[in-house]
């Protein structure tokens, strides 16, 4: 089979246009475009119910939500985090004049390794910012135990973890705050968008003040907030997306299982499996290529797939700690981060999105089998 059109690593899932137009007409008639309008209020409530959380604040995007989450808890000094994430995680610290301290990840699910956290704590440490990488839950109990022992806050970057549950409980209910992204590349999108999940009304009020210039009412400004509000068009789309997101996740699961069935016999390719007791959202499908066993380097595989119109993504490569802004930090030394360094050199995310056809998935698996001189194990 020849793939004629480019197949990207992801493709935004959208509801039927005619259903969205109904909402657009209501927005046009009301002329309420932003500032906590009726669609914003409805979306906030229905989203909290869907996710199984008590308090949620909507944002224009996930990065502004991360920046505001740090402001909400008045985080300063140093924050322990992972180098194996999207740059927004660490950029949010930089924008708050906070020093990131990188620790290594664990090799099973590529999340921050709790065993490495304690040694990185200094008198300047005020928080831990783990990431639920690829939607796989961090070791939340171990992280919380360390935070409680040293009096630290925990802010989870949950950009990949929309709808993820641990034994029926939302992953978003762990830590002091969790931050979601509704970017177009995610399982659930509002084109751009994000949210902060907190656990009490007082904290939600502070978040809502901060994202609206600090306004508490018409004439009262409680502090130096910013404009990070979600608008009515985003909120209206989000409401519609809630009606379809379970179908999106189910289709993503089918694609993930199809990859697993057809890649499991290829030597040198490590594939992800579901974790028992976890409801996954299948935001990404990463594979890890062992050059020695597969007899081909990850970058070579990336290029050859591209030649066949398959546009995977080396997600996350390079490590955040190797970007110019951060590589001078002592904790950025690759010797300090052996597991993360190896993962960044091996990872390749394959296309996964609801509209991806089975025959394309099978062609990708066929190509990956052909690229390796070792090919299928016996």
- The answer to whether residues 91 and 169 belong to one domain is yes
Strands 177-181 and 194-198: antiparallel
SS (H, E, C) 109-131: CCCECHHHHHHHCCCCEEEEECE
Residue 378 has pLDDT above 50, yes or no: no
pLDDT at 2: 84
Q: How confident is the model over 71-83, as a mean pLDDT?
A: 98
- The answer to whether residues 32 and 76 belong to one domain is yes
pLDDT band for position 82 (cuts 50, 70, 90): very high
Cα separation, 99 vs 79, in Å, equals 6
- The answer to whether residues 188 and 249 belong to one domain is no
- Computed over every residue of the chain, the mean pLDDT equals 97
The one-character DSSP state at 330 is G
Residue 108 has pLDDT above 80, yes or no: yes
pLDDT at 4: 85
- The answer to whether residues 167 and 302 belong to one domain is no
Buried b (16+ CB within 10 A) or exposed e, 217-253: eeeeeeeebeebbbbbbbbbbbbbbbebbeebbebbb
Residue 251 has pLDDT above 90, yes or no: yes
Residue 347 has pLDDT above 60, yes or no: yes
Residue 329 has pLDDT above 80, yes or no: yes
Looking at 212, 241, 270, the residue that finishes a domain is 241
CATH number of 198's domain: 3.40.640.10
Neighbour tally for 31: CB within 10 Å = 8
- The answer to whether residues 212 and 283 belong to one domain is no
- The answer to whether residues 117 and 253 belong to one domain is no
- The answer to whether residues 229 and 255 belong to one domain is no
pLDDT at 372: 86
Q: What angle do the packed helices 38-51 and 232-263 form, to 10 degrees?
A: 30
Beta-bridge mates of residue 269 = 289
CATH number of 300's domain: 3.90.1150.10
Range of the domain at 107: 17-241
Helix (H) or strand (E) holding 320: none
Q: What is the pLDDT of residues 18-33, one digit of tens each?
A: 999 999 999 999 999 9
- The answer to whether residues 367 and 263 belong to one domain is yes
Q: How confident is the model over 39-46, as a mean pLDDT?
A: 98
Q: Is residue 377 part of a domain?
A: no
Whether residue 241 has a cis bond before it, omega within 30° of 0: no
Residue 377 has pLDDT above 50, yes or no: no
pLDDT at 374: 60
Q: Number of structural domains, the chain? A: 2
Residue 178 has pLDDT above 90, yes or no: yes
Nearest Cα residue to 56 out of 178, 158, 167: 178
Residue listed under structure tokens 């955040």? 320
């Amino acid at each position: 089979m020849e793939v004629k059109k480019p197949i990207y690593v992801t493709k935004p899932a959208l509801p039927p246009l005619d259903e969205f137009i109904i909402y657009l007409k209501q927005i046009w008639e009301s002329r309420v475009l932003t500032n906590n309008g009726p669609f914003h209020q409805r979306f906030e409530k229905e989203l909290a119910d869907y996710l199984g959380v008590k308090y949620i604040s909507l944002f224009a995007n996930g990065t502004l939500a991360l920046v505001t989450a740090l402001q909400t808890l008045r985080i300063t000094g140093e924050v322990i985090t992972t180098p194996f994430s999207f740059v927004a995680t660490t950029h949010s610290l930089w924008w708050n004049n906070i020093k990131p301290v990188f620790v290594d990840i664990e090799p099973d699910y590529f999340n921050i390794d709790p065993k490495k956290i304690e040694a990185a704590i200094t008198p300047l440490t005020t928080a831990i910012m783990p990431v639920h990488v690829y939607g796989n839950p961090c070791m939340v109990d171990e992280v919380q135990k360390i935070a409680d022992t040293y009096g630290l806050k925990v802010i989870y970057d949950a950009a990949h973890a929309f709808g993820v549950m641990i034994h029926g409980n939302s992953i978003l209910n762990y830590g002091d705050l969790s931050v979601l992204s509704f970017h177009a590349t995610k399982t659930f999108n509002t084109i751009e968008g994000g949210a902060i999940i907190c656990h009490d009304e007082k904290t939600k009020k502070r978040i809502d003040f901060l994202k609206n210039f600090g306004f508490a009412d018409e004439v009262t400004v409680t502090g130096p907030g910013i404009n990070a509000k979600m608008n009515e068009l985003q909120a209206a789309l989000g409401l519609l997306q809630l009606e379809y997101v379970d179908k999106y996740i189910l289709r993503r699961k089918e694609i993930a299982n199809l990859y697993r069935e057809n890649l499991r016999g290829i030597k040198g390719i490590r594939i992800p499996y579901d974790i028992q007791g976890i409801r996954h959202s299948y935001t990404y499908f990463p594979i890890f290529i062992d050059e020695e066993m597969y007899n081909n380097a990850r970058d070579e595989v990336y290029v050859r797939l591209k030649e066949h119109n398959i546009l995977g993504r080396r997600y996350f490569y390079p490590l955040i700690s190797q970007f110019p802004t951060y590589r001078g930090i002592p904790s950025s030394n690759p010797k300090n981060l052996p597991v993360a360094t190896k993962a960044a050199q091996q990872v390749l995310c394959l296309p996964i999105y609801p509209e991806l056809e089975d025959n394309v998935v099978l062609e990708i698996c066929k190509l990956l089998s052909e690229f390796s001189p070792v090919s299928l194990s016996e």
